[in-house]
Amino acid sequence: MTDPTLPAFLEPKWFFPAFAAMWVGVTGLLAHLSGWATLAARFPSDDPVDGQRFRFASGSLGWRWVPVHYGNGLFVTVSPTGLRLSLFLPFRFLSPPLFVPWTAVESLMRKRIVFVTFTTLVLKGAWPRITLRGSSAQPLYQACSTARPDLTHAP
């Protein structure tokens, strides 16, 4: 017998379907708000890439002032030809893996706040910025600046 004070969606038989629908809805919304879906359409990645790998890395995608943060949910591969990003499987709905070649990068920025290093890529003709922080930020900066020395400026 069900409790008449509970709304229908909180009944045990509806909890898991409602939770799954909410999960898919939220992850799909985040894919569009961050620009991941836009980048994945432009830079699809079907094959693995050889390079330096970082599992459970942190970063963000999106507008400069309102990015979507992926704390410890990114899988990053930094290669001599570009950057491959993918998400931890439970968050991957509408966010397939993507590969951004260094030729698509318009500007490269690096900053350090207290003990954390951030590297930001601004892409040509695309609104989402890609920012990585922590252990993957320095290798990202080195690989991109080596492939595209025109993006770095002498101090």
Q: Which residue ranges make up each domain of the chain?
A: 36-151
Q: Which amino acid is at 1?
A: M
Relative to beta strand 82-87, strand 98-101 is antiparallel
Q: What is the pLDDT of residue 89?
A: 93
Residues 135-146 pLDDT 10s = 999 999 999 999
User: Looking at the predicted structure, is the pLDDT value of residue 155 above 50?
Assistant: no
- The yes or no reply on domain 36-151 and CATH 3.40.50.1820 is no
Residue 10 or residue 67, greater confidence: 67
Mean pLDDT of 121-147: 95
Q: What is the pLDDT of residue 20?
A: 92
CA atoms lying within 13 Å on the CB side of residue 70: 31
Mean pLDDT of 12-25: 88
